[in-house]
Structure 1
Amino acid sequence: MAASSPPAGHPPLPASDVVVVGVGARAPSGLTALQVTMSVRALKMDPRESHLIDRHGEPMVMCRLPSIGDEVMGVDRFVALGGPALTQAAFAWLAAERRNGRTARPLPVLVALPSRRRPGLDARLEQHLLRGLEARSQVPIDHARSGLIFGCRGGGVEAFRLAIERLRAGEHDAVAVGGVDSWFDPDALEWLDRELRLHSMQTENGFIPGEGAGFSLLTSRRSAASLPRLAQILGAGVASEPRPYGSDEPCLGEGITAAVKRAVAPVGARARRIPWVMTDVVNERHRVDEWSYVMARAFEAFSPDVIHDQPLLKTGDLGAASAAVLLAIAAMRWQTGCAAADCALIGAHSEGPERGALLASRDPTP
């Protein structure tokens, strides 16, 4: 059941000035945020062989949407993933605009994408993604105030941090924030295979690649008016890991620890311990180790019986879409009464040095 009151001995959640009034998601396990959430809860996963061959001569396996043809790659695939998720997230806002007799105002959109260092990344994303998303979603986009963040998983949290900053500064009434990613690219999969990171019978310490998109529509509490408040954002923290995977020296989780501490600072780690975390950890050994350092270094931030959820074990790794999809899952679980707790910390670790943490909760106001 959803947590209807704070854990014993904990103060109630503060009412944040940044709220989530719409979410959308698209992943191999579902075509809407609700479908993705329920499929993950049901432990449903459907990896499929592709026409691409690994170094052992076997078909590469990944989680990908069967509704998108295998011939669709690059920016076209990103648009096919992201457009419907953006439509879902903006639906309530645009419907309210129409009910009030107003022409829908263009929305600023911040989108997290893979690092430019990723092999096979389509260079056309920078010029064509936003226009493609606008055409596919039918959501009017304010291109002058929109942006792309090429920061992989940690960049997903950076997109939220920027949106929160703009909303609190009064620059926007609403901002659509999300991430889109797909590992379905020959160069990207060949790189993972070469680095022994594709999970298989021969490579236990690897992950199953996935693809997906997630979007949330954020507004100030004042601008939310009669819109449904699906969740609220309490804090966001980003930091750089000085020794990411591949460095000569071992990673001690310094970057993600700093990001977590910044995210929980607004509610106070000692006053309000976190009972639920959702991370992008998919059981690669170095990512498991890095998060374990956080639990040790920032132990005061977490409840003794903290629950660690790893939804990407059922969707496949979602790369830059991870943070946005995890937030959508948390919001849907609060709305459907199956959340593990009344607040959740989302943790994201990029392929490079970018690290991010996002603290969200159910909305505490009636």
Structure 2
Amino acid sequence: MAAAASPVAGRPPLSVSDVVVAGVGARAPSGLTALQVTMSVRALKMDPRQSHLIDRNGEPMAMCRLPSIGDDVVGIDRFVALGGPALTQAAFAWFAAERRNGRTARPLPVLVALPSRSRPGLDARLELHLLRGLEARSQVPIDHASSGLIFGCRGGGVEAFRLAIERLRAGEHEAVAVGGVDSWFDPDALEWLDRELRLHSMQTENGFIPGEGAGFSLLTVRRRVASLPRLAQILGVGVASEPRPYGSDEPCLGLGITTAVKRAVAPVGARARRIPWVMTDVVNERHRIDEWTYAMARSHEAFTTDVIHDQPLLKTGDLGAASAAVLLAIAAMRWQTGCAAADCVLIGTHSDGVERGALLASDDPVR
């Protein structure tokens, strides 16, 4: 990624809270739009389905996957089928506003979080061809020279938002589409999870249910939102590396996610605004539960005493690199529909590798 340029001459530098979410899109086993995903999660709906793949005990593997995508669709084709519609949803309001104002919409920069390159079964074609595939499927013109892919799993989802915010604050772009796409529906990936005893089952309680999905947000600056929806504002973002990630010889003490949380809340000040609501990618895996518990304890001054911890991926299945973007879309839809737990939310994500991320967002008070 290119380094952020200095602010445009004559224009005051932006604060993080000047970054506004003007559109969201999501696609997951529980819904085909951000609103459907949000309401299905809120209704506690979950529908894992057996596949034709067999685990080490000779039983069919089950996971949460979209029934609208065939089981013969894997790799880049599945990622495009997941991500294209979500990108269309997120960018719709931007291009509609450009047309209303009589302007020809310029191609959008798009930043996409993807699984780690080390994941077994990851389609090597993603690096060269995913953006072209998303452009064709979504019908959203993409500025390829300014777009990029972040292969960082769950924590990489927050890194994608950090890079997008840097570009907006530097005045490089008026809007950026940022999100993530992921699917565990791959024979090699599921076999690896099964071998590592990470597939939740009657014999493996300390495992998770794999899922798949995509989420995108259209980020712009406040001065451009006069004719756009104002779904949320970004208050802070933090990324960090965990020195003892999953699989390390020594116990993980949650230092990475703790640092990411502190960086995300720093712009507003832990004492100035205590956070009443968190959404994380924590599912049933004990090491991720422990990491988040450590981070909450070390950062306790940043949270209210009755802080609510939501875990939407317990209902969608683990969404990997799409987690951060889908969680933000869920928060935005809950603010829009009046069923949010609070007006401010902290999103926390933990990769299998070293990447950790936290994003602080709130309902936009200027509507």
Q: C-alpha distance in 1, partners of 2:195/2:282?
A: 21
Does the 8 Å CA contact 2:177/2:216 hold for their aligned counterparts? yes
Q: C-alpha distance in 2, partners of 1:284/1:87?
A: 33
Question: In the alignment, residue 308 of structure 1 is paired with which amino acid?
Answer: H
Partner of 1:95: 96
RMSD: 0.9
Does the 8 Å CA contact 2:17/2:236 hold for their aligned counterparts? no
SS at match of 1:255: helix
Partner of 1:3: none
Q: C-alpha distance in 2, partners of 1:114/1:159?
A: 12
Q: C-alpha distance in 1, partners of 2:38/2:366?
A: 24
Question: In the alignment, residue 61 of structure 1 is paired with which amino acid?
Answer: A
Partner of 1:49: 50
How many residue pairs are counted as aligned between the two chains? 353
Q: Tell me the TM-score normalised to structure 1 length.
A: 0.96
Deviation for aligned residue 1:102: 1.7
Partner of 2:33: 32
SS at match of 2:129: helix
Q: C-alpha distance in 2, partners of 1:174/1:137?
A: 17
SS at match of 2:244: coil
Does the 8 Å CA contact 1:15/1:363 hold for their aligned counterparts? no
Q: C-alpha distance in 2, partners of 1:172/1:137?
A: 21
Does the 8 Å CA contact 2:16/2:236 hold for their aligned counterparts? no
Partner of 1:238: 239
Question: In the alignment, residue 284 of structure 1 is paired with which amino acid?
Answer: E
1:312-331 superposed matches below 5 A = 312-331=313-332
Partner of 1:110: 111
Deviation for aligned residue 1:225: 2.1
Partner of 1:11: none
1:199-238 superposed matches below 5 A = 199-238=200-239
Partner of 1:144: 145
Moved over 2 A (4+): none
Q: Tell me the TM-score normalised to structure 2 length.
A: 0.95
Question: In the alignment, residue 299 of structure 1 is paired with which amino acid?
Answer: H
Partner of 1:351: 352
Structure 1 residues not aligned, in runs of 5+: 1-13
Residues 118-165 of structure 1, C-alpha deviation per residue, up to 9 Å, x if partnerless? 000000000110000000000000000000000000000000000011
Partner of 1:123: 124
Residues 205-239 of structure 1, C-alpha deviation per residue, up to 9 Å, x if partnerless? 10000000000000010122220100000010000
Question: In the alignment, residue 243 of structure 1 is paired with which amino acid?
Answer: R
Question: Are 1:266 and 2:267 an aligned pair?
Answer: yes
Partner of 1:286: 287
Question: Are 1:161 and 2:162 an aligned pair?
Answer: yes
Question: In the alignment, residue 171 of structure 1 is paired with which amino acid?
Answer: E
Q: C-alpha distance in 1, partners of 2:301/2:132?
A: 45
SS at match of 2:213: strand
Question: Are 1:73 and 2:55 an aligned pair?
Answer: no
Deviation for aligned residue 1:283: 1.6
Residues 71-104 of structure 1, C-alpha deviation per residue, up to 9 Å, x if partnerless? 0000000000000000000000010111112222
Q: 1:117 to 1:15 in 2, by over 3 A?
A: closer
Question: In the alignment, residue 67 of structure 2 is paired with which amino acid?
Answer: P
Does the 8 Å CA contact 2:260/2:356 hold for their aligned counterparts? yes
| Stretch moving more, 221-230 or 354-363 | 221-230
Question: In the alignment, residue 344 of structure 1 is paired with which amino acid?
Answer: V
SS at match of 2:17: coil
SS at match of 1:86: helix
Q: C-alpha distance in 2, partners of 1:70/1:224?
A: 41
Deviation for aligned residue 1:15: 8.8
Residues 263-317 of structure 1, C-alpha deviation per residue, up to 9 Å, x if partnerless? 0001100111100000000021111011000111111111100000000000000
Partner of 1:254: 255
Partner of 2:309: 308
Q: 1:15 to 1:260 in 2, by over 3 A?
A: closer
Deviation for aligned residue 1:352: 0.2
SS at match of 2:364: coil
Residues 18-43 of structure 1, C-alpha deviation per residue, up to 9 Å, x if partnerless? 00000000000000000000000000
Does the 8 Å CA contact 2:16/2:165 hold for their aligned counterparts? no
Identity %: 90
Deviation for aligned residue 1:198: 0.1
Q: C-alpha distance in 2, partners of 1:75/1:306?
A: 39
Q: C-alpha distance in 2, partners of 1:271/1:97?
A: 38
Partner of 2:86: 85
Q: 1:15 to 1:164 in 2, by over 3 A?
A: closer
SS at match of 1:178: strand
SS at match of 1:16: helix
Does the 8 Å CA contact 1:15/1:365 hold for their aligned counterparts? no
Does the 8 Å CA contact 1:239/1:255 hold for their aligned counterparts? yes
Question: In the alignment, residue 357 of structure 1 is paired with which amino acid?
Answer: A
Q: C-alpha distance in 1, partners of 2:224/2:111?
A: 19
Q: C-alpha distance in 1, partners of 2:128/2:315?
A: 32
Q: C-alpha distance in 1, partners of 2:334/2:224?
A: 24
Does the 8 Å CA contact 1:15/1:364 hold for their aligned counterparts? no
Q: C-alpha distance in 1, partners of 2:246/2:177?
A: 31
Question: Are 1:342 and 2:343 an aligned pair?
Answer: yes
Question: In the alignment, residue 170 of structure 2 is paired with which amino acid?
Answer: A
SS at match of 2:297: helix
Residues 158-177 of structure 1, C-alpha deviation per residue, up to 9 Å, x if partnerless? 00000011101100000000
